[in-house]
């Protein structure tokens, strides 16, 4: 079997990379999407072939979405996220969430959103994000924060 023949026999999926950033008080910073349910999310997005890896994707997307070069010099993986395909998403999705570090007040003030993707950004204490997010999205945020603090495994499975 050739590699291209084999590729047609295995499940297809998408891969994303994003950065979990916080302010100086370790409060999560998120961007509000202009798509669909206008959900809150980390800076990041899907890999662009050829040859892009999830960390490079996360940094490229964060620059495009915030105008800031984000990410630590020594990357730290916080969460591996697997999303099962379903009616809303025909492909499985695998995501890697990296620690994007802390932003000081000056950096926060320099955030420039891409209006084609996000219409606002916000900083809140973890508990204050709960009423602003769908339960599954908040569970994702909470899992990332627990992993950052070393309190839980950094693996999450969700269904669409």
Using only the alpha carbons of the chain, give its radius of gyration.
Answer: 16
SS3 101: strand
- Give pTM, 2 decimals: 0.88
CATH superfamily of 14-159: Nucleoside Triphosphate Pyrophosphohydrolase (3.90.79.10)
Phi and psi, residue 64, nearest 5°:
-70, -35
- H or E segment to which residue 82 belongs: strand 77-84
Q: Which two tokens stand for residue 103?
A: 């932003």
Q: What pLDDT, in 10s, does the model give residues 10-69?
A: 777 888 999 999 999 999 999 999 998 889 999 999 998 788 899 999 999 999 999 999
Under DSSP, the state recorded for 134 is -
The domain segmentation of the chain, as residue ranges, is 14-159
Q: 81 and 154 in contact (C-beta within 8 Å)?
A: no
pLDDT of the residue at 11: 75
């Amino acid at each position: 079997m050739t590699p291209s023949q084999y590729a047609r026999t295995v499940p297809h999926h998408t891969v994303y990379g994003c950065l979990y950033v916080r302010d100086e008080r370790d409060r999560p910073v998120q961007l509000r999407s202009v798509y669909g349910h206008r959900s809150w999310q980390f800076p990041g997005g899907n890999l662009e072939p050829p040859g892009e890896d999830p960390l490079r994707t996360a940094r490229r997307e964060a620059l495009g979405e915030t105008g800031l070069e984000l990410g630590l010099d020594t990357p730290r993986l916080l969460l591996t996220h697997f999303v099962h395909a379903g009616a809303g998403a025909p492909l499985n999705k695998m995501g890697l969430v990296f620690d994007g570090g802390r932003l000081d007040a000056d950096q926060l003030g320099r955030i420039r959103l891409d209006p084609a993707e996000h219409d606002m950004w916000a900083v809140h204490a973890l508990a204050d994000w709960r009423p602003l997010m769908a339960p599954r999205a908040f569970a994702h945020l909470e899992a990332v924060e627990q992993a950052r603090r070393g309190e839980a495994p950094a693996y999450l499975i969700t269904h669409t």
